[in-house]
Amino acid sequence: MSDANRPEKDAAAAAKAGAGAVGTPDPSTPQTATEAAHEAGSQHVPTQEVAGVPTGPDGRTPLDVVDVRTGMFGAAGSGDTSGYGGLVKTVAMPPASERPYGGWFDEVVDILAEVLDEAGVAFDDAIEKVVVDRGELTLFVRREHVVLVCRSLRDDQDLRFELGLGVSGVHYPGDVGRELHAVYHLCSVTHGRRLRLEVAVPDADPHIPSSTSVYPGHDWHERETFDFFGIVFDGHPGLARIEMPDDWPGHPQRKDYPLGGIPVEYKGAQVPPPDQRRAYN
C-alpha cells in the first residue's frame, strides 16, 4: 500500500473508530447475546445463561461456551481410574472484542482492512472476528481467504509479518460445525510484533488452503497438523504423515481418539489399557 493514499484512509478509519469492532454488528442495534448467537447461526451457548462460567480478563465480557467436559482423559462410563470422575470443566472462548483494541492492534486491523479492500475483498468477508485476549491479538479468518490474509500481512510495508512461526491444531468436539481449528503464529521482525490467525473448519470438511506458498517454513508444520488432527491443507506440496507411520489409523491428538495401550500383567493380574479400566468416582 502506498504512503500517498494512506493518510486520508487513516483519517476515515479514525472517524469510524467509535462505530464498534471491525467485523462485528453495529452496536446501535441492541442485541442480547442469545439473539446475536441465533442470528449468526452459532452453536455457541452465551455464557450469561450458564451458571459459574468465568468472564473475560476485563471481568465483564462473557465468554462463549463450546463444551462442558466431565471426568478425566475424555473417558466415559467405567474408563476413568483417576478418581476425578466428578470433575466438571467448562471450555469457553472469548467473543469478538470491541474497539479500541489498544496499542498497535487497531493500526494493524485498519491497515489490513485497507489492503484487503484493494485486493477486492471486504474485511468482514475475510475475517470472522477480531479477538484481543490476555494482551494478544487473534484474527479469526475464513478459510477461503487465509492465503490472501497471510500474503497481505507479509507484504504490506506497514505490516511486514514476514516470519511464520508455525501451524498447529486444536480439536473442540463440542464446537459444532467448527470442531477443528488451525492456528498460525506470525511475527513481524521489522516492527517487533506478533499476532495469531485462527481458522475453524468442521470435522465433515476439514480442508484449508495451504499457506506454504506464503510461508515455506509451514511445510512440516502443516504435515504435522494433518498427521495429528486430520486437517487437510489443500495445495501442500507433499502432504503426508510426518510422525506416525503412513498406515496409522486415525489422528492421535484429536480428543475423540481412544487412549489405547495394551494390557499389562502385574503379579498375575491383568491391568487393562487406560480407557478400559474401572472408575473410582
Check if the beta carbon of residue 239 is closer than 8 Å to that of residue 232. Answer: yes
Annotated domain spans of the chain: 6-24+96-257
pTM of the predicted model as reported, rounded to 2 decimal places:
0.72
Bond preceding residue 46 cis, omega within 30 of 0: no
CB atoms within 10 A of CB 121: 19
Cell numbers placing 8: 486520508
The C-alpha cell 512461526 sits at: 165
* Tens-level pLDDT at each residue, the chain (281 residues): 555 556 555 555 444 444 444 434 444 444 444 444 344 434 444 444 444 555 655 555 578 888 887 776 555 555 556 666 677 888 888 899 999 999 999 999 999 999 999 999 999 999 999 999 999 999 999 999 999 999 999 999 999 999 999 999 999 998 999 999 999 999 999 999 999 999 999 999 999 999 999 999 999 999 999 999 999 999 999 999 999 999 988 999 998 887 767 667 777 787 777 666 665 54
- Say how many residues make up the chain: 281
3-state secondary structure at position 222: helix
- Side-chain half-sphere of 195: how many Cα atoms within 13 Å? 28
For residue 43, give Cα distances in angstroms to 21, 67, 102, 178. Answer: 22, 10, 29, 9
Cell numbers placing 26: 453495529
Superfamily classification of domain 6-24+96-257: NADH:ubiquinone oxidoreductase Nqo5 subunit (3.30.460.80)
3-state secondary structure at position 12: helix
Find the DSSP H helices in 16-155.
33-39, 105-118, 123-126, 146-155
